[in-house]
């Protein structure tokens, strides 16, 4: 077994030159080093100069209102996704096939809760309150990633989600470690370091199933069949229809286009699927010598839009669950507040 730092990786995401050197964590570390290097350069001054110099904007800096608003929207949506994202996997914690798998799944879902909290805190540095953010999620005014509106039908879905859904999330998130907004970039560095176990445990779990009984194998293949296209859709609409991209790139919030990241993900997954001995459900998937990439069938973007608008298989269930969990936790928050108030007067 080689565990030589080849963690779930988006190697080459930002620095194609170091191809093969290491993995996700290597890329995250390079982002962290770049952040420090930029910090060491002389102070830049105006907002534009800071962005230009690849330095970080910090909470009390002057920034364009659209930069602030756009970041709040993006970070909030990201945070909501981590929170709602606990549900599809949470669904299987009590039914995990062994204590070991249960402990692993529990640890992963706990991590996602943590990621939601890091991100809410980063959004709050931009002048929005936690109450406003919670309200925006519960009222449906702000969205979360549509991937979490798909159901988890079998245990193999836990493997497929770790491999594909966390894998796609990582490809999206590693470049965000270099985002121009300091608190977001630092939160993403922390998150990406933790994500490295999510994808691995999923892949390893799927590998065990794929090499198990014929029934387990079928279950693994079925899970991959169902999660492949929704995972591709996680990168968002095609570049030709992406609305926020250009400004986001100019402000160095986003570093790569949706289609670039999607391609990167496909190129990583194909050899991984081979080793699993599973097939990706795309008859047109093939290596294109000329492009140096795999050709593939894009996801159904009309379906993506329908799911985003609320018409996916589990939208209503996910929102109802979140609202119920919030309401049922009210007495805990009230009791804690009452206890704290008592402490102050005593």
CB of 159 to another protein, least distance (A): 12
CA angle 188, 193, 199 (to 5 degrees): 105
Q: Which does residue 241 bind out of another protein, Fe ion, none, counting CB within 5 to 8 angstroms by kind?
A: none
* 115 touches Fe ion by CB under 5 A: yes
* 157 touches Fe ion by CB under 5 A: no
> Out of 16, 40, 283, 289, which residue is the one contacting another protein (CB under 8 A)?
40
* 343 touches another protein by CB under 8 A: no
> Out of 15, 21, 29, 38, which residue is the one contacting another protein (CB under 8 A)?
38
For residues 44 and 138, which CB has a smaller minimum distance to another protein in the complex? Answer: 44
CB of 346 to another protein, least distance (A): 16
The count of other CB atoms within 10 Å of the CB of residue 127 is 11
Q: What is the DSSP string of 295-311?
A: E-PPP-HHHHHHIIIII
Best CA proximity match to 211, nearest among 268, 261, 152, 276:
276
Q: Which does residue 19 bind out of Fe ion, another protein, none, counting CB within 5 to 8 angstroms by kind?
A: none
Pairwise CA distance, residues 92 & 155, whole Å? 7
Pairwise CA distance, residues 142 & 84, whole Å? 12
The token pair that represents 167 in the structure block: 């894998």
> Out of 18, 113, 275, 338, which residue is the one contacting another protein (CB under 8 A)?
275
For residues 19 and 330, which CB has a smaller minimum distance to another protein in the complex? Answer: 19
| Interacting residues with another protein between 50 and 69 (CB under 8 A) | 50, 55-56, 58, 60
| Interacting residues with another protein between 92 and 121 (CB under 8 A) | 100, 103-104, 107, 111
- Calculate Rg over the CA atoms of the chain: 21
CA dihedral 217, 219, 225, 231 (to 10 degrees): -110
Going from the C-alpha of 204 to that of each of 2, 8, 220, the distances in angstroms are 14, 12, 12
Q: Which does residue 112 bind out of another protein, Fe ion, none, counting CB within 5 to 8 angstroms by kind?
A: Fe ion
For residues 72 and 122, which CB has a smaller minimum distance to another protein in the complex? Answer: 122
| Interacting residues with Fe ion between 160 and 189 (CB under 5 A) | 166
CB of 182 to another protein, least distance (A): 6
Phi/psi of residue 288, nearest 5 degrees: -110, 105
Element (H, E) at 260: helix 258-276
CA dihedral 176, 157, 298, 246 (to 10 degrees): -20
* 221 touches another protein by CB under 8 A: no
Q: Judged by CB under 5 A, how many residues of this single chain contact Fe ion?
A: 5
Q: Which does residue 78 bind out of Fe ion, another protein, none, counting CB within 5 to 8 angstroms by kind?
A: none
* 71 touches another protein by CB under 8 A: no
Report yes or no: 208 and 200 within 8 Å, Cβ to Cβ.
no
CB of 240 to Fe ion, least distance (A): 29
Convert residues 146-185 into a mask of x (bound to another protein by CB under 8 A) and - (unbound). ------------------------------------x--x
* 268 touches another protein by CB under 8 A: yes
Pairwise CA distance, residues 74 & 142, whole Å? 10
> Out of 97, 271, 310, 313, which residue is the one contacting another protein (CB under 8 A)?
271
* 78 touches Fe ion by CB under 5 A: no
Q: What is the DSSP string of 99-155?
A: HHHHHHHHHHHHHHHHHHHHHHHHHHTTT--HHHHHHHHHTTSS---GGGGS---ST
Pairwise CA distance, residues 239 & 263, whole Å? 12
Which residues form the interface with another protein (CB under 8 A)? 1-3, 6-11, 23, 25, 35-36, 38-40, 43-44, 50, 55-56, 58, 60, 100, 103-104, 107, 111, 182, 185-186, 196-197, 199-201, 203-204, 207, 268, 271-272, 275
């Amino acid at each position: 077994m080689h565990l030589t730092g080849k963690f779930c990786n988006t190697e080459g995401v930002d620095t194609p030159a170091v191809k093969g050197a290491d993995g996700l964590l290597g890329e995250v570390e390079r982002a962290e080093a770049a952040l420090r290097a930029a910090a060491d350069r002389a102070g830049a001054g105006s907002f534009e100069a800071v962005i230009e110099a690849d330095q970080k904007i910090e909470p009390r800096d002057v920034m364009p209102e659209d930069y602030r608003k756009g970041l709040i929207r993006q970070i909030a949506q990201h945070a909501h996704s981590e929170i709602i994202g606990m549900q599809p996997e949470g669904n299987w914690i009590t039914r995990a096939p062994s204590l070991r798998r249960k402990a692993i799944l529990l640890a992963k879902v706990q991590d996602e809760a943590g990621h939601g909290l890091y991100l809410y805190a980063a959004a709050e540095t931009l002048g929005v309150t936690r109450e406003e953010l919670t309200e925006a999620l519960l009222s449906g005014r702000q969205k979360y990633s549509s991937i979490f509106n798909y159901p988890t039908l079998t245990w193999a879905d836990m493997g497929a989600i770790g491999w594909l859904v966390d894998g796609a999330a990582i490809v999206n998130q590693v470049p965000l470690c270099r985002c121009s907004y300091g608190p977001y970039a630092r939160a993403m560095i922390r998150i990406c370091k933790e994500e490295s176990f999510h994808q691995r445990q999923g892949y390893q779990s799927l590998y065990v199933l794929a090499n198990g009984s014929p029934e387990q194998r079928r279950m693994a293949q079925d899970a991959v069949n169902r999660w492949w296209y929704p995972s591709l859709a996680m990168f968002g609409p095609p570049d030709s229809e992406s609305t926020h991209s250009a400004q986001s790139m100019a402000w160095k919030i986003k570093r790569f286009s949706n289609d670039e990241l999607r391609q990167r993900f496909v190129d990583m997954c194909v050899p991984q699927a081979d080793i699993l001995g599973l097939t990706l459900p795309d008859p047109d998937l093939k290596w294109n010598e000329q492009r140096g990439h795999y050709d593939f069938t894009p996801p159904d973007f009309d379906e993506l839009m329908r799911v985003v608008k609320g018409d996916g298989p589990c939208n209503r269930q996910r929102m109802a669950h979140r609202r119920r969990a919030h309401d049922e936790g009210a007495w805990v928050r009230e009791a804690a507040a009452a206890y704290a108030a008592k402490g102050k007067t005593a």
